[in-house]
A and B are shown apart, each in its own frame.
Chain A
Amino acid sequence: MNSSNLLSIVTFTYALAAFLYIVSWVFKKQLPGRIATWIAIIAVIGNTGGIALRWIESYRLGIGHAPLSNMYESLVFFAWTIGVIYLVIERTYQNRIIGVLATPLAFMAIAYASLSPNISDRIQPLIPALKSNWLIAHVVTCFIGYAAFAIAFGISLIYLLKRKKTGDKDGFFNHLPDFSTLDELTHQMVTLGFLFLTIGIITGAVWANSAWGSYWSWDPKETWSLITWFVYATLLHARMMRGWEGKKLAYLSIIGFMAVMFTYFGVNFLPGLHSYGQG
C-alpha cells in the first residue's frame, strides 16, 4: 500500500468517527461516542502512518524530505494535529462534545487534500528555496497553531449555539459543558494557538532572512498571518476589558479562524504571490 491509499482510508475513518460523534450527540447515547473515540484514535494512528510512509517513499524516490512541502502534505498534517489535540482534550475533560466539530474539521482538511482537483498528491522534489530546516519548523508550528485555532473555533460555535438555545428544555444543548468551561477551553486553545502562531511567524521570518536576506517583506501571505496574529492578540486583550464577555470573544475567535483560513487558502487568489505558496 502506498501513502496516498492509506490516507484515503484515513479520510473515511475520520468521516466515520465524525458521524458517530454526531450520532452520539444527537441521540444522547454513550455507546456510539465510545466507539467514535476508538475510531478517531485509529484515524490518527493511520494518519501518523500515512505521513511516515510518505516520508519513506520520498527517500525511496531519491528526493527525501519531510512531508511538509506542499498543500497536500500540509493539509494531511493539519488533519493530524487537529486529531491529536482533540483527543488530548477529550481525555483531559472527559467530554466528547468538541469531537462533534473537531473530527469533521479533520475530515474536511484531509478530504480536501485528497479530492480537490487543484491539489496534487505526487511527491515532488524540493525546489532550492524550500531546502531549509527552518521550513520544517515553520510548517509544523504554524499548523499546530492553526489546529488549536480550529478547535477554538469549534468550541466558540458550540458556545454561540448554546447561548441561542438555552431555555429550550430538551434541546441538544443542555448537556453541553457549562459556559465557564467552554470559555476557559476556548481561551486555552487560543493561547496555545497564539504561542504556536507566534513561533510559526518567527520561524518563517528567520527562514526568509536566511534565504532572501529580509525577515519581513509584507507579501500577502506574511501579511495575512500577521493580520491573524493581530486578531488573536485583540482577543487576548479584549478578554480583560469590562463588558467583553463570552459572546463577543466567541465572535472574535470565529473571525480569527476566518483569517487563518484566508491566510491558508484565500491568499492564493490575491495578486502577487510567492511561488512557495502554491501546492
Chain B
Amino acid sequence: MNKETGSAGFPGRLWKLFASVRLTVIVLLSLAVTSIVGTIIPQNQRPEAYLNEYGEFFYRILSAFDIFDMYHSWWFQFLLLILSVNVIVCSIKRFSALWKIVFVKNPFFDISKFRDFSDKEEFVDTRSPEDLKRIYVPIVSRSFGYRRIEETDNGFCVFAEKGRWTGIGVYIVHLSVILLLIGGLIGSVFGFKGFVNIPEGKTINSIRLSNTGKAQDLNFDIRCDDFSIKFYDSGAPSEYRSTLTILEQGKSVLTRDIIVNDPLRYKGINIFQSNYGELPPKDITLNFKNRITGMSNKQKVSLGQQINLSEDMGQFVVKGYRNSYDFGGHNLGKTFMGILTPDNGSPVHVIMPVRFPVFDRMRKGKLAISVEDYDRRYYTGLQVTRDPGVLVVYSGFVIMIIGCFITFFMSHQRLCVEISKSGKNSRIMVAGTANKNKLGMQSRIKKIAKNLSK
C-alpha cells in the first residue's frame, strides 16, 4: 500500500482523500440533502400514479434516476459505499497512531506545561511535604487509575490520569456504522419480506414477496386456528390476535397466539400480525317476510345453496357477499346478494345489506328478504420476514450507543499536584487537563484542590 508516500501519485492522493474528514462532511451532507427527495416524492408507487402526477416527460427523467425507489438506487448506495470506505480508511490511518498513544506504559508528563495553566489552583499548607504526601496520594488514587510520584528540586509531584483508553470511543462508533451497513446488506441479499392472508382454519406454506409479488416457499406450514379483535368501549380496536399453529410435514409442532408487537419467530422466520379482513360467511340465517300475510319465516342457508321456498314462492340462492356495496353513491356496508326465482317468472336480484334489514322492501315484491344473522369469519393478514442481518444490525446498535457514550461523556483526564517546600510551609499547586468537557474539568480541579486543602 502506498500510504507512506503521502501525496505522491494517484493512489496516494486517493488514500488521502478517503482518509479526510472533509469527505465525511461532504458525504454526510449529501446524504442528508438527497434523503429529502424521497420524503417529498412518495416511493414505490405504481407507475400509473406517477404518470398521473408528473406527466410522461418528468416521469421518464425521474425514473432514469431511480427517484421512485431512491433509497435503493445505485447513486444512493454509492454514497453509502463512499461513507463506508471513508470510515474504514480513516480508521486504519489513525488507529495505529492512536494505539501507541493509548497503550503506553509510562505516560509522559510535562510539569512545566501544568505550571503554565491559567486555571490552576494554588494554596499554602503548614504541614511538611512528607506529611502531605501521605495524605494526598490516597486521595488522588481514589479517583484516578494511574498515578506516579516524582521528586522535584524542592519537593515532589503527583501525576495521575485516567480514561486514556477513551480515545478509542470514536472508532467504536465508526465500527458500529460499518456493522449497520453490513447488517443491512446481509438483510437485503439473504432476507425477504412478504405477506400472506390465511382464512381461519386454513393452512398455507408459501407467502407473497412484497417487492416482486412472487411466491416464496416456507419450509413449514402455518395454520390459522382463530382470529379475534377486541374493542375499547369507544369502538377503537384494542387488540388483534391470531392463534397460529406451525406444522412440519403435516404434524403440528407449535401453537401460539400472536398480537401486534408480539410476533412468532420460528426457524429464522418472523411472523407478525399486520392486517385482517372478513371472509364471505358460510352460514347465513335469512328472514323471509311475506308482505301480504305479514308472516316471517327464518331459514339457515349456506352461500350458494339453492333452497325451495315455502308457499310456492319459488327458489332462492345467496350468490355472493361484499364488505361494502355502493348503492347510488351510498355505501351500504356489508351486503349479501341473492337471486330469487319465482315458480312462474323471471329471476330477480335481491340486495340484502346487513345494516338495513328493511332494504329489500323497496323492491316491492311479495317477499322481503333480509339477513338475520351470519357467522363472522376472518382471515388474518400476516407479515412474514426473514432477515439474517438483524443480529449484526442490533450489535451495531449496541456498539454505537456505547461508543457515543464513551466519546461524548468520558474523557482523558490528567492531573498534576505539585508540592514544594517554601520556608516552613508547603506550597501546593493543583492543575489538570482533559481532552473533552474542559469546563467540567475546571470545576473538578477546584473540587480536588478544596479536598486537599482541608
A residues adjacent to B (C-beta < 8 A): 63, 93, 124-129, 131-132, 181, 184, 188, 191-192, 194-195, 198-199, 202, 205-207, 209-216, 218, 220, 223-224, 226-227, 230-231, 233-234, 237-238, 240-241, 259, 267, 270-272
Shortest CB-to-CB span from A146 to chain B, Å, is: 17
Write out the residue numbers on chain A whose beta carbons fall within 8 Å of the beta carbon of B36: 227
Interface string of B262-290 (1 = CB under 8 A from A): 11000000101110000000000000000
Shortest CB-to-CB span from A122 to chain B, Å, is: 10
Q: Is B64 an interface residue (CB 8 A)?
A: no
Q: Taking CB as reference atom, which chain A residue is nearest B404?
A: A195
- Inter-chain CA distance A102–B263, complex, in Å, is 42
Q: A230-B29, A234-B25 are in contact. Are A195 and B408 (CB under 8 A)?
A: yes
**B35 touching A230, Cβ below 8 Å:** yes
- Segment of B55-63, B160-168, B352-360, B393-401 in the binding face: B393-401
Which residues of chain B from 392 to 430 have any CB-CB distance to chain A below 8 Å in the complex?
Answer: 393-394, 397, 400-401, 404-405, 407-409
Which residues of chain B from 169 to 223 have any CB-CB distance to chain A below 8 Å in the complex?
Answer: 184, 193
Shortest CB-to-CB span from A198 to chain B, Å, is: 6
**B439 touching A184, Cβ below 8 Å:** yes
- Segment of B234-242, B243-251, B301-309, B341-349 in the binding face: B234-242
Which residues of chain B from 4 to 27 have any CB-CB distance to chain A below 8 Å in the complex?
Answer: 21-22, 24-25
**B397 touching A230, Cβ below 8 Å:** no
**A211 touching B401, Cβ below 8 Å:** no
One of A202, A209, A234 near B32 (C-beta < 8 A): A234
**B401 touching A267, Cβ below 8 Å:** no
Write out the residue numbers on chain A whose beta carbons fall within 8 Å of the beta carbon of B31: 230
Q: Is B102 an interface residue (CB 8 A)?
A: no
**A128 touching B238, Cβ below 8 Å:** yes
Shortest CB-to-CB span from B101 to chain A, Å, is: 17
- Inter-chain CA distance A215–B270, complex, in Å, is 13
Q: Is B52 an interface residue (CB 8 A)?
A: no
- Inter-chain CA distance A194–B239, complex, in Å, is 35
Which residues of chain B from 217 to 231 have any CB-CB distance to chain A below 8 Å in the complex?
Answer: none
Q: Could you name 22 residue pairs across A and B whose Cβ atoms are closer than 8 Å?
A: A125-B236, A125-B238, A126-B238, A127-B237, A128-B259, A129-B261, A195-B408, A195-B409, A202-B397, A202-B400, A202-B401, A205-B397, A210-B262, A210-B263, A213-B193, A213-B387, A214-B385, A218-B71, A231-B32, A234-B28, A238-B25, A241-B25
B residues adjacent to A (C-beta < 8 A): 21-22, 24-25, 28-29, 31-32, 35-36, 38-40, 42-43, 71, 184, 193, 232, 234, 236-240, 259-263, 270, 272-274, 383-385, 387, 390, 393-394, 397, 400-401, 404-405, 407-409, 437-439
- Inter-chain CA distance A241–B400, complex, in Å, is 23
- Inter-chain CA distance A77–B239, complex, in Å, is 27
One of A128, A223, A234, A259 near B261 (C-beta < 8 A): A128
Q: Taking CB as reference atom, which chain B residue is nearest A197?
A: B404
- Inter-chain CA distance A227–B263, complex, in Å, is 30
Write out the residue numbers on chain B whose beta carbons fall within 8 Å of the beta carbon of A216: 184
**A227 touching B439, Cβ below 8 Å:** no
Besides A206-B394, A207-B261, A214-B385, 14 other A-B contacts (C-beta < 8 A): A128-B260, A184-B438, A195-B401, A195-B408, A195-B409, A198-B400, A213-B383, A213-B384, A224-B39, A227-B36, A237-B25, A241-B25, A270-B39, A272-B43
Q: Taking CB as reference atom, which chain A residue is nearest B236?
A: A125
**A213 touching B238, Cβ below 8 Å:** no
Shortest CB-to-CB span from B197 to chain A, Å, is: 16
Write out the residue numbers on chain B whose beta carbons fall within 8 Å of the beta carbon of A127: 236-238
**A214 touching B32, Cβ below 8 Å:** no
One of A191, A199, A213, A270 near B385 (C-beta < 8 A): A213
Write out the residue numbers on chain A whose beta carbons fall within 8 Å of the beta carbon of B409: 191, 195
- Inter-chain CA distance A39–B42, complex, in Å, is 47
One of B24, B35, B272, B407 near A223 (C-beta < 8 A): B35
**B401 touching A270, Cβ below 8 Å:** no
